[in-house]
Structure formats: structure tokens, C-alpha cells
Structure 1
């Protein structure tokens, strides 16, 4: 969700205030909390016919976990790399950004290979060939070289593997946007809005293989990413008075209730308002009412969950926060586990108890991955810096 950040707008002339703010400020755990919840929701939503998925926000409004994930990704990217640029210069900051893009790309390729291999194995060994079409990997079986090449170019994507390529593209083009935003943040946000409007009007999109365009259109979804970056670089602080206005709060609650009525009514087939919205999700081009719904939720969250909320330190929130802090690893394992959950429900049992077990088991495994990655990262920090010589190794061997 959109959360206020204490740092001022960043520019190359504000290096000293930014450094002071970094030393005095602490990590905003609300970002980790909601990104962790988004990862959990994405996992649950990707398991078809899963009753636990009714707990996620996509069933009760226009926006869903993807909106939260993209916004917070933009927020954290700006917060991290703007400081690196100020501290180390444009070249070093850009190099670090490119390194992160490469890490994301490698993660996507590994996930792509394991995901496609798992689907192919289940389809072949268990006689469920329909999974090849259902998960959009039939082309990979029929034309492996051409399809794999397109996959490496991010044009071919199996079902549910759309978010990470979007993140890769947004991060790949983030360096010039970030440098502009560090100087004139409002102008950078206005430029993103213009691209959004033009993309929707002229139907701009990246081509997909074998036909069509990307499910998450980068030309439109960049707006949420940019809004997150704008908020991180002082926009949220400047918008505090507006966000905490009683009038804005009432309007936000009213819109969220309206979205709830329309969405739930459409799912139950009783809404007379749903014809006004051709596609209640309209994810591909990021419908304007999705953005409004997300911002309305953000305003409500700012009122209900302050930065110093005691619940952030609770044991119940800790697993979710860890999943937000180790977002890339948790996201990847969650996508893979969603297929495993689908396979279990289809092959063995789709009873209510099984649905709950698959969902809870997947969340526990995702949390375990987050715990392991958090622990493993501390090993490098705690490792003593000692010089190991051949003589020392020899003496050590004598005692074995």
C-alpha cells in the first residue's frame, strides 16, 4: 500500500540532508508487511478453485495484490537507488540498478525452466495433457527452440509468469526516470501519466509470442511503479495533509464500498452496475478505476496503520514482514507452489480441507524460504575476516 516515507525529495544537491535522514530514520515495516501480504495473495489467487483465495482483496474491489506489488516495488527501488546515486554517483548507481535487473532476469529464467519442466512432467507422466494448453506451455513442447528463445526474450510466458517480466522491464528503464525524478519529481510523474494515457489511447503494448501483447502492459503499469517512486522521493510526505483530510477519507471509504458492491455483485451475478465496467479487473491496461481504488485503499491504510503501529512488532506480523523483505525469493517459490497446489487439488482431492491444507502449507513453505534467506544473509556479516594460510590449514589437519 502507499505509505508515507520520511525522506525529503532527493536531488544531487541534497546529499547531506539525505544522509542525515538515512541515519536517523528506520525501515518502514509497513512496506514489508503489505508486500508480504501481496506475495501471499498472489500465491493463493493462482490456485484455481481455492476457497482460501476468497480472503484476498481481488474478490472485493477493482485492484488486487499485483497493484500493491508494483507500487511498493517502485517505492523501494527509488528509495534504495536514489540514495546510492547520491552517495556513489550516477554511474555507480546505474551499474547497481543494472545488476539488480540481471538478478531479476536470472531468477525469471530459473523459474521459467523449473515451472515449464514441472508442468511438462505432470502432463506426460500423469496423462493430463490439457495442462499444456491450460498453462500455455504447449508451444514449448511443439517448438522448443523457437519458443525457448522467445521465452528468453520475455515474449513467451507460461500462465502466471507475467509479473516478474513486467518488473524486469520497469527496472531496466528506471535509471533515466529516477535521475529525472530526483530533480523534478512532479514532472517525472506527469510524464508517466502522459505515457499511460497515450498507451491506452493508441493501444501501445509489448508483443507477446506467438500472438497478442503482454498481459501486464508495461506502458500502462509503469504509472503505478512511478507513483511508488514519486511517493518515496518526497511525494508521500507532501501529500500527507491531503491524504489525512477528513473529506478525502470519506470519499475513499465511499469508493471502496462502491467497488465492493460492484465486484461482489458481479461475482454473484446480481449487480446492475457491473455492465458499466467491461472487465472488472482490466489488468492488461491498468484501468483508471483500479488506480483510484488502490489510492483509496492507501488513504484508508494511512489512517488505520500508522508508521509506529505496535502490530508491526508482533509475532503474527513477523512471518509476513519477512516474506516482504525477501520478496523475490518468496515470489518465485510462491508461483511454483501455486502450480503444485493446482496439481494436488486436481489429481488427488479438491475437498475443502485439502484446499485449506494446500494453502496453509504453501504459505508455511514461503515463510520458511524467507526465514532461511534472512538467516543465510547474516552469515556473511558475522563471518570473521581471518587469513587462512597453508600452514594454518596444515596445523588444523594434524588435529583431525
Structure 2
């Protein structure tokens, strides 16, 4: 089914009219690559961090992951939000939102325990000053309430809360998508623009800051994925035109040079809002949005590129991508351990790199375990009642 999402063959366009019955692993594989890259980036100060694509362009794996999530949602729920099934599907989606919320709280608590344990065991109380833990420690009662109400976020523990909000919004998104995908896209774009211009973003309770990933901004990328998959399912085509390929490629080259040579002092704003000309991650500036979409377009229309992601269903990357939530939780906790390790070793990049290499291997081990567990559960005979 995803053949037409990422292209294939030598046809000049990508069509969804021929839909294979077998599972296409390309979304799983690309999702796994995002998960592994997020893990690497969440252990800053080691050598592998400098090899990830955030060092060669405006966007990073967070944007890619959100876009893939939108495509996956469009694939999973597209056409199902119809009269008579809306309530059941809404409850199912909100149950997923609850799972994301619980996962966020759990990883935040475990992160606190890891850093507090490191401070106690290694006698490094300065660990408590890392990743926004200090306000929670100094205002514990308020901090507990703030964390439960998503009013305080620890560093590197702020993606799942944004996803939980997106899934709370998802029934409304699917409903509007059923009426008109164009109307949904326009409404989503306006919300993204208004949020960026007027800084509409959920606030933190313990300080004057706000969420690192603004759901009112990031929903636009999520919606783009949903609308794109909806169009593909309805037989739309994605043209593979030399001019579009050239524009996307030139933009990626310019953004790579911009980052590599630190051209951040160049002002091309012309008085326009920062959301249109800046590089802010919180409000998903247009530069970052365009970058991830340019990458996605090239992956979709260049057969030699997208074929690389077509792997067997039992390939380690495909298995990791199929279990994205538990793998992400596992990677987040592992990354927090890695941050403490780097801290107490004086930011030793060799120790950090070795830890990340082992951690990547553990991701695959855990993916194999989850796949084995799923097979055991599905093969278990039903009890007679």
C-alpha cells in the first residue's frame, strides 16, 4: 500500500491505483531510522551525534518522525471515520492518547530517578541542574502537579506530550478530512501560522517558559502526512518532475551549507514573522518544515532512494519500526542513562560513543524481543468460556 507513498519503479508518477496486499515495510524502516537517530541525538557530546542529518540541514529526525506518523495515521484510519463508526474510533484514538500521556509521565519519572540516582551514587549534586530538573526539585509539590498536568517538561522528554495532544485532536482532524482535505489543510496551515506569529503555545507552570514542541505548530506537519496519504489512497499521483526535484535538491544543498558554515547571522527576514523566515523548532518555522518536506519528496520520487527502505518484514530495522512506542520509551530511558554517564566521565566522547553503539545494538535486541512476544501472544490458543 505504501509503494505509492515512497515511489518505486520507473514510472514518472506515483499512483495508488495498484495496492499490494502485503505490508510495505518502508514506513517501518524509515521510522526505525528516526528512532535510532533520536536516540543518538539524545546523548549529546559523543562522536556519532555529528553524523546525524541535523548537522546537514534545518530539520532533524523529530520532523521526519512526525511526518511519518501522519502518513501512518492516514494509512491506519483513512476512510474509517465514517457515520456509525465515529464514536468507536474516537474512543480508540483517545485510548492511544492516554497511552502516550502515561508513557510521557512514566519516562519523566524514570528520568528523574536516573539523574537523582546518579547524583546520590556519584556524589554529583550538580546533575540536578541538568535538563530542567532543578525547578522540579526546588518546588516539589508544585512540580508534581505541573508534571501531571503537562505544565513542566524535562529536557529530552517532551515529544510524547506533544503526540498525546495531537491524538486528542485527531478525531476532529479525521472528521474535517472526511469533509474536505483541502479545508483541513487550510485550517491547519492557518493554525500553524497564527500560533507562530502570536506565540500561542502551552505554558510551563514552574517558570516563564513554554513547551519545547508546540502542538499547535507541529500539527501542521502531522496533518500534511494525513492529507497526503488520504490523497494517495484515493488514487492521486505525486509527479516526478525534474524541476521539482532540482528545487528540492538545491534547497537541501543550501540548507546543508547554511548549517555547516554557520550562516545564522545572515538576515533574510525582510521584516516577516520568524515563523516564516527563522529556524525555530518550537514553532516549526517554514525553513524546517520545507526542509523535511523536500527530503520526503526526494525519497518518494527517486526510485533508487526509496528502494533502499524496502526491506523484508523480518529485517531488524522493520521490526524496530513496527514497535515505535515501546522502542521510543526504551531509547529515551537509555539516553538518560547515557547522559548521566557522560556527565560523570567529564563529557568523555569516547565513553559516550561506545555507550551509544551498545545502545543501538540493544534497540535491535529489544525489537527482536517485542516481535517474539507478539508472536507468542498471537499464537496462544483462546480459552474456552
Question: What's the TM-score, normalizing by structure 2?
Answer: 0.87
Aligned to 1:96: 92
CA distance in 1, matches of 2:301, 2:175: 31
Closer, same or farther: CA 307–275 of 1 in aligned 2, 3 Å: closer
More off after superposition, 256-265 vs 81-90 = 81-90
Q: Could you tell me which residue of structure 1 aligns to residue 170 of structure 2? A: 174
Match of 1:228 in 2: 225
Question: CA offsets per residue over residues 306-334 of structure 1, 9 Å max, x none?
Answer: 7982652269x922222211111111111
Q: Structure 2 matches for 1:109-148, cutoff 5 A? A: 109-148=105-144
After superposition, give the CA deviation of every residue in 1:38-67 in whole Å (9 maximum; x if it has no partner). Answer: 111111111121110112110000011000
| Counterpart residue number, 1:108 | 104
Shift of 1:234: 1.4
| Structure 2 gap segments, 5+ residues each | 7-15
Aligned equivalent of 2:33 = 37
Output the CA distance in 2 between the equivalents of 1:280 and 1:338: 29
Match of 1:203 in 2: 199
Aligned to 1:381: 378
Deviation at 1:21, TM superposition (A): 8.4
**How far apart, CA to CA, are the structure 1 residues paired with 2:37 and 2:261?**
21
Within 1, Cα distance between the matches of 2:92 and 2:188? 23
Residue 318 of structure 2 corresponds to which residue in structure 1? 321
Q: Sort the Cα spacing of 1:309 and 1:377 in 2 relative to 1 into closer, same or farther, 3 A.
A: same
Which residue among 215, 219, 239 is the counterpart of 1:218?
215
5+ residue gaps, structure 1, are 7-17, 389-400
Given the alignment, which residue of 292, 301, 318 partners 2:290? 292
Tell me the alpha carbon deviations over residues 123-145 of structure 1, each in whole angstroms, 9 at most, x when there is no partner. Answer: 23322222222221122222222
Q: Computing the radius of gyration over CA atoms, which structure comes out larger, 1 or 2?
A: 1
Separation in structure 2 between the aligned mates of residue 352 and residue 178 of structure 1, nearest angstrom = 45
SS of the residue corresponding to residue 387 of structure 1 reads: coil
RMSD: 2.8
Q: Match of 2:13?
A: none
Measure the CA separation in 1 of the matches of 2:223 and 2:170.
9
Post-superposition offset of 1:351? 4.8
Q: In the alignment, which residue of structure 2 is the partner of 1:309?
A: 307
Question: Structure 1, residues 232-263: CA drift from partner, whole Å, max 9, x if none?
Answer: 21158766443x11100011110000001001
Distance 1:112 1:225, change over 3 A: same
Aligned residues: 368
Distance change >3 Å, CA 238–CA 285, structure 1 → 2: farther
Q: Tell me by how many angstroms 1:273 deviates.
A: 6.4
Report which stretch shifted further, 365-374 or 169-178. 365-374
Choose the corresponding residue for 1:372, options 358, 369, 374: 369
Q: Report the Cα offset of residue 35 of structure 1.
A: 1.1
Alpha carbons of structure 1 residues 187 and 294: separation in structure 2 relative to 1, 3 Å: same
- Is the Cα contact below 8 Å between 2:97 and 2:168 reproduced in 1? yes
**Aligned-pair distance for 1:31?**
1.1
Q: Hey, what does 1:336 align to over in structure 2?
A: 333
Match of 2:9 in 1: none
Q: Contact conserved, 1:281 with 1:290, CA < 8 A, in 2?
A: yes
- Distance change >3 Å, CA 365–CA 353, structure 1 → 2: same
Q: C-alpha deviations, 1:90-117, integer Å up to 9, x for none?
A: 1111111011111111111111111111
Distance 2:352 2:233 in 1: 39
**Quick one: distance in 2 between partners of 1:88 and 1:120?**
50
Q: 1:358 to 1:212 in 2, by over 3 A?
A: same
